[in-house]
Amino acid sequence: MALHAVIMAGGSGTRFWPASREQRPKQLLRLAGSQDTLLAATVKRIAPLVPNERVWVVTAGRLLQETRDAAPALMPAHILGEPKARNTAPCVAWATAAILEEDADATIIVLPSDHHIADEPAFLAALAEATTAAESGYVTTLGIVPTRPETGYGYIEFGTSIGSAKSVKRFVEKPQLDVARSYVDAGNYLWNAGMFIFRASVMRDEIAEHMPDLAAGVTRMLSATDPARRALAIAEVFPTLPSISIDVGVMERCTRIAVVPADIGWNDVGSWESAWELASKDSDGNSLRGNALCIAGANNLVWDLRTAPHSAVLAVVGLRNMVVVFTDDAVAVLPREFAQDVRKIVEALRARGDSAFL
Amino acid sequence: MALHAVIMAGGSGTRFWPASREQRPKQLLRLAGSQDTLLAATVKRIAPLVPNERVWVVTAGRLLQETRDAAPALMPAHILGEPKARNTAPCVAWATAAILEEDADATIIVLPSDHHIADEPAFLAALAEATTAAESGYVTTLGIVPTRPETGYGYIEFGTSIGSAKSVKRFVEKPQLDVARSYVDAGNYLWNAGMFIFRASVMRDEIAEHMPDLAAGVTRMLSATDPARRALAIAEVFPTLPSISIDVGVMERCTRIAVVPADIGWNDVGSWESAWELASKDSDGNSLRGNALCIAGANNLVWDLRTAPHSAVLAVVGLRNMVVVFTDDAVAVLPREFAQDVRKIVEALRARGDSAFL
């Protein structure tokens, strides 16, 4: 009963513009105070439990080469490129079926590629507990112990104990602030961080039960064993699969579902604000990279990410709580509190047909 | 009695960094909402009174070519390059002596090269009045009617009328705020904007009286008529001339001195803040240039001044009262209220030996 990992590495590359682009989404960036990309850090983090040869990555077809380059220790055949984005249920179904071909007795850890986890020992311990629940037949999730009444995440309400895991009473969508506050106060709500652990055969059966169209599609995709014919089948069938999340398609309909509360220093690296929080900073709270000069300012992220940093200089004076990012072909400036609005730049560039900068 | 103009075009290029540089100081920039550089605008502005062939420019030797390029309608021989910066008295003395060689009966208007004047008819009318005073023997200045208790300028206190000009009671240095307020309230103080009008022979005599070393030096500089020998004499002698302003060296010691009050929409274009004030702006108060995108922001100067503006994009979100300038080799970001502090960037670059960006 070997452990496999599936790292979900899609992403449209808008929230970290101009560092992120369609061809260089967030998981391919060095954002969390590390020399590694978020994807490489995810592979490293899981390595004590899952060796590289059992790590799979599902990404967008257009990112196949970039993803292989970013995770060179993984087997190229284990990096799957989706012909079209279809949300997470087809992603999980495909990877599960592919792993079952190699290991009928597999247990699978599904992880996002673009989060940060500060407390790796606690993360690995939570995964070990979740694996125990999964091996006894539960579709298991890691639920993050909330640290604030965040309205940007879904929540999981848990109930009674199942070994060292908990039963799941319900999944709830992103709440209003007052509702989120009541969840945090109640103490039995966790953030849904998109980390799942299950026996591959259990997931196959759950998909067959709750999403028979998806199951049938994946069977057709993989019916050919000849690589060229299989590639053709994937290209034909995958885009027709139902676009639905694994949460809605399977998790919320499962009866044998468990959650392991995890207090692991999780951060979804959701915006430049998160990047500033995670970055190492000087005594004035400034995070500087490249040929950046920050005078009389505090609590800024000032990143010169150009490939030839000494060909130019990025200099700021008197800034507070600002994000300034300089790449080879763009400059973005915004207050940290406007970090979510960087996508408005991407929308404006798209609206005016400026695809070179997307 | 022909009118000549001498445009003083020195400048170290720090206050408009990164647009201004040692080799591209302020007067060579397009800063005042015009397609012209400040220098070219100065030449144009004086043209109704002084034809191009009687306009002289004194600049730094290192800027001789750039200045000729920026003022191609002027005679190359009328663009004088100082071997070393020696403040304004040697500049005025040299230009006066050079003009006297061509026109013993000249009257000279001395103007800074890097100011903006909104009301050109009023400016020309004030100059005409000042010329009348000058031609009757007065060293005459234009004094700007103050619009605020500015502490960054020197003031001129005026007294009784001399024709349509006024007598000068005294020049005063940059005052404290309460003193500046009392000057504005008193009504008989004007800003000293560095604009002087005099008969060349009067200035020659005043310099000989009050600064005999300077007069002797200029005589030595111009004693040779052979161009090569004269160039050598200038290179040898000019750096030894006393470094002193024409205000201190001559104006404050003159007995026959007059001032013409001028209400002409004068702006010294002293900082990025002035550039924002003078720029044409959209309905949100934003001044945008080049490939700049400003979303959900107001009252910003966002200038992409690169020579190939479509090779990159400058995008800002949620900014208020900020200056963002993008050139071929630098980005500067600062709040408008920190506009004076841009020179701190230049100082920091100099301190770390980054001369490429100076």
How does pLDDT run across A306-325, given as a tens digit for each residue?
998 889 999 999 999 999 99
Q: Which residues pair with A332 in a beta bridge?
A: A325, B315
Of B298, B303, B340, B334, give the one whose Cα is nearest residue B317: B298
Q: Which of B264, B4, B2 is nearest to B109 (CA)?
A: B4
Structure-derived torsion over alpha carbons of residues A346, A349, A353, A355, reported in degrees to the nearest 10: -60
DSSP state of B138: -
Cβ of A331 and B313 within 8 Å? yes
Residue ranges for chain B with pLDDT beneath 50: none
User: Which residue has better confidence, A33 or A50?
Assistant: A50
Mapped onto helix, strand or coil, the DSSP state of residue B201 is: helix
Show residues of chain B in contact with A316, CB under 8 Å. 332-334
pLDDT the model gives residue A154: 95
More confident residue, A355 or B117: B117
Q: For residue B322, what is the nearest residue in chain A, using CA coordinates?
A: A319
Q: Which of A9-18, A134-143, B191-200 has the lowest mean pLDDT?
A: A9-18
Residues in A touching B338 (Cβ below 8 Å): 296, 317-318
Contacts of B192 (CB under 8 A, 6+ apart): B141, B143, B144, B153, B154, B155, B156, B171, B247
Q: How confident is the model at residue A1 (pLDDT cuts 50, 70, 90)?
A: confident
ipTM confidence: 0.91
**Contact residues, chain B to chain A, C-beta under 8 Å:** 17-18, 293, 295-296, 311-319, 322, 324, 326, 328-335, 337-338, 341-342, 344-345, 348-349, 354, 357
Which two structure tokens, joined as six digits, stand for A107?
């247990």
Please list, in sequence order, all residues whose beta carbon lies within 8 angstroms of the beta carbon of residue B35, skipping any fewer than 6 positions away: none
Residue B12 confidence (pLDDT): 77
Q: How far apart are CA A142 and CA A190, in angstroms?
A: 9
What's the pLDDT tens digit per position in A81-132? 999 999 999 999 999 999 999 999 999 999 999 999 999 999 999 999 999 9
Give Cα A231 to chain centroid, integer Å: 25
Contacts of A101 (CB under 8 A, 6+ apart): A222
| Residue in chain A lying closest to B338 (CA) | A318
CB contact under 8 A, B293 and A341: no
C-beta atoms of A333 and B319 within 8 A: yes
Angle at B94 (CA atoms; ends B90, B100), nearest 5 degrees: 145
Chain B residues whose CB is inside 8 A of the A318 CB are 334-335, 337-338, 341
Interface of A to B at Cβ within 8 Å reads 17-18, 293, 295-296, 311-319, 322, 324, 326, 328-335, 337-338, 341-342, 344-345, 348-349, 354, 357
Selection from A332, A305, A309, A334 nearest residue A319 by Cα: A334
pLDDT for the residue B69: 96
User: Tens digits of per-residue pLDDT, A218-261?
Assistant: 999 999 999 999 999 999 999 999 999 999 999 999 999 999 99
Nearest CA in chain A to B17: A315
B312/A328 touch (CB, cutoff 8 Å), yes or no: yes
- The string of DSSP codes covering B177-190 is HHHHHHHHHHS-EE
Instruction: Please give the pLDDT value at position A195.
Output: 97
Average of per-residue pLDDT values in chain A: 96
**Between chains, do B324 and A331 touch, taking CB under 8 Å as contact?**
yes
Distances (CA, A) of A272 to A28, A149, A293, B153: 15, 20, 19, 43
Q: Enter the pTM of the model.
A: 0.91
pLDDT of residue A328: 95
DSSP state letters, B217-244:
HHHHHTS--SHHHHHHHHHHHGGGS---
Give me the pLDDT at residue A11, please.
78
- The per-residue pLDDT for B309 is 81
